[in-house]
Amino acid sequence: MMSTPIEMITEESALQASGFYWRERDDVRALVCEPLEEDGFTNAFSTRVGGVSPMPESALNLAGFNEDESENIYENRRRFLKLFEGEWLLTGCWQVHGIDVRVVRTREEANQKPGVLGDDQYCDALVSRTPNVLLAVKTADCVPVLIDDPITRSFAAVHAGWRGTSSSIIKQAIGQLENQFGAVAANLRVAIGPAANHCCYEVGSDVISVFKERFANADDLLAPTRDGHARINLHQANREQLMDAGVSPDRIHVAPFCTMDRNDLFFSYRQEKQRHGRVGRLMSVIGTRE
Ligand SMILES: [Zn+2]
């Protein structure tokens, strides 16, 4: 019998404790948040595994049409969607590191030309309660956040890089869930996906000064490294903003992965941009069925 390496056992138990598990179909692999699923919400955070893109090979690149052949991206999306039962409309937006939230009220609003994925809509978060619509955000190091409300059946997908986090994009998304659908923050459940974490993600004085200006506890989010630099904890920053908005800490689930450390599983802009020039995009999705 082969023995399992100790780090694999540690990784498995960390994953289980955090509320996530791996879903695999054919060669495609994604991370699913179990408590969101138990609330009745289909959800997943994609990996780079099981696709057709040469990034550098068999990569599941799900967006970024200027960096990959569109046929590759469509095929990768087809493979990714096979992870979920039923028919889904995938809908997203053209992400600009801003604070605008797109409200998707109907299937018609969600329905877009194949591959377009809402690229005419500039925003960084989406909210909806339309069944069979999968809201999607694209990342490669930025923080993807998925939110469900089991009471109103509304849900949200949020893209929170350092800019979005510094402008509290997550609070904008929660505000729209409240205003549009009558959600109450205390009922929300949240999954924070793989991102560049505080173990690796070093920022410069520009980012440091923005955080120090906007957050009283910025020193807790920044670990100084060399002169004028610090490692930043965006997972923690978003977690704190969620609690600030009224989300209960035991309803916030954080995936125990750093995209920069686990470049074998995830695309990382910071690890790959200089090395390959082209970087794939991960996709995080949430939706509910009728
Ligand atoms: Zn790391």
- Is 60 exceeded by the pLDDT of residue 203? yes
Mean pLDDT, to the nearest integer, of 196-217? 97
Ligand 1 centroid distance, CA of 221 (Å): 15
Give the model's pLDDT for residue 143: 98
Among candidates 29, 269, 242, which has minimal Cα distance to 156?
242
Average pLDDT, stretch 169-174? 98
CA distance 122 to 141: 20
Q: What percentage of residues in the chain have a pLDDT greater than 70?
A: 96
Tokens coding 230: 């610090």
Q: Which residue has the tokens 């994925």?
A: 117
Across-strand partners of 231?
202, 223
Confidence (pLDDT) at 166:
97
Per-residue CA distances from 249 to 49, 142, 152, 193, 252 (Å): 31, 21, 20, 16, 5
How far does Cα 52 stand from its chain's mean position? 21
| Residue 6 pLDDT level (bands cut at 50, 70, 90) | confident
Q: Report the chain's C-alpha Rg in angstroms.
A: 18
What is the crossing angle of helices 234-245 and 169-181, to 10°?
Answer: 30
Token couple for 270: 């910071």
Distance 259 CA to ligand 1 centre (A): 7
The alpha carbon of 170 and the centre of ligand 1 are apart by a number of angstroms equal to 22
* Distance (Å, whole) CA 277 – CA 89: 31
Which domains can be identified in the chain, with CATH numbers?
Answer: 6-195+252-288 (3.60.140.10)
Mean local confidence (pLDDT), 256-265: 97
Residue list, CB under 5 A from ion ligand 1: 197, 199-200, 258, 260-261
| Model pLDDT for residues 67-121, shown as the tens digit of each residue | 999 999 999 999 999 999 999 999 998 899 999 999 999 988 887 655 555 556 8
229: helix, strand or coil: coil
Instruction: Indicate whether 238 pLDDT > 80.
Output: yes
